[in-house]
Chains A and B, each alone.
With several copies, the nearest count.
Chain A
Amino acid sequence: MKSAVVVFPASNCDRDAAVALEQLTGKKPAMVWHHDSELPDVDLVVLPGGFAYGDYLRCGAMAAQSPIMRDVKTKAEKGLSVLGICNGFQVLTEAGMLPGVLMRNAELKFVCRPVSLDVEETQSAFTRKYEKGQRVSFPVAHGDGNYTADEATLDRLEGEGRVVFRYAPGDNPNGSARNIAGILSRKRNVLGLMPHPERVCDAALGGTDGRPLFESLVEALS
């Protein structure tokens, strides 16, 4: 599986994502500067966490307008797999590639801690190596992770099996609607999630619950 990580100005989990990808795919991902207009030939694009453009105006808003995002969008429509983590999820919603928005956390504070998640869907290239209903722990680290969409959209997401990760009951760190932590696009090839799977791929860091996500991709896309 060939992968690429997009680097926006002030992305800051680009290296973490690259390390996890290299560890689990055996290949170094291509690092793509936001100003480039075309992606290299890859099977997976990761939009990493961070504070693209300082999170000024709205998180992800300016990054969504980056030149590279046009190509990401076009290729995603043709089926390219795209994984947006944290800030990357925000970019995906701002770019209109996923529905809804990520608003300020309900408690209005940045929150960094491990959270328990339930894997709701295993019918995706991102989660096939998890068990349905499996409880995993990923850290979150964000100020704007409060997923919000109108009721019709939320119903559609649930109805189409596109809510992939949900915060375990009682462990919702940001007030997001229906405890949503991660969702798929309609074609199921774009995943956005707030928690950081790339930070739990190494036992020394307190867990390996993120590994199956990357292993799923390797299996699905190789």
Chain B
Amino acid sequence: MKARVFVTLKNGVLDPQGKAIGHALHGLGFRAVGEVRQGKVIDIELAERDEAKARAIVKEMCEKLLANTVIEKYEIELDG
């Protein structure tokens, strides 16, 4: 099973990197760009076939390590 975890800043947390990207895109002439936010995507290969179990494991990983829940939120996608 493959898990994809998205870790992004919570709404309302300032995202200087996203802002800088937006700024740079404008500078390159992409006028249609509105807000930009940057986050992380973490792809994990998992030796676990059961989807519910896999989700529980990945959730635990997020809470323990992958996200800093003070400022970040996460989403989990499973595949396979």
Decide if A and B touch, CB cutoff 8 A: yes
Which residues from chain A sit less than 8 Å from chain B, CB to CB?
53-54, 56-58, 61-62, 65, 94, 100-101, 103-104, 106, 108, 146, 148-149, 175
Kindly list chain A residues whose C-beta atoms are within 8 Å of the C-beta of B20. Answer: 53-54, 56-57, 62, 108
When the two chains form the complex, which single residue of B24, B40, B68 contacts A65, counting CB atoms closer than 8 Å? Answer: B24
Kindly list chain A residues whose C-beta atoms are within 8 Å of the C-beta of B70. Answer: 100-101, 149
How many interface residues does chain B have, given as a range?
10 to 19
Which residue of B has the minimal Cβ distance to A153? B70
Main SS at interface, chain A: loop
B68 touching A56, Cβ below 8 Å? no
CA distance A58 to B64 in the complex (A): 13
Which residues from chain B sit less than 8 Å from chain A, CB to CB?
13-14, 16-17, 20-21, 24, 27-28, 38, 40, 64-66, 68, 70-71
A106 touching B65, Cβ below 8 Å? no
Shortest CB-to-CB span from B34 to chain A, Å, is 17
Kindly list chain A residues whose C-beta atoms are within 8 Å of the C-beta of B65. Answer: 57, 61-62, 65
CA distance A53 to B28 in the complex (A): 14
Q: A54-B16, A54-B17, A108-B17 are in contact. Are A101 and B24 (CB under 8 A)?
A: no
B21 touching A103, Cβ below 8 Å? no
A53 touching B24, Cβ below 8 Å? yes
Which residue of A has the minimal Cβ distance to B70? A101
B17 touching A57, Cβ below 8 Å? yes
Kindly list chain A residues whose C-beta atoms are within 8 Å of the C-beta of B27. Answer: 65
Which residue of A has the minimal Cβ distance to B18? A56
A106 touching B64, Cβ below 8 Å? no
B16 touching A62, Cβ below 8 Å? no
Which residue of B has the minimal Cβ distance to A35? B27
Shortest CB-to-CB span from A73 to chain B, Å, is 14
Knowing that A54-B17, A58-B68 touch, tell me 11 more A-B residue pairs with CB under 8 angstroms. A53-B24, A56-B17, A56-B38, A57-B66, A65-B65, A101-B71, A103-B16, A106-B16, A146-B16, A148-B13, A148-B14
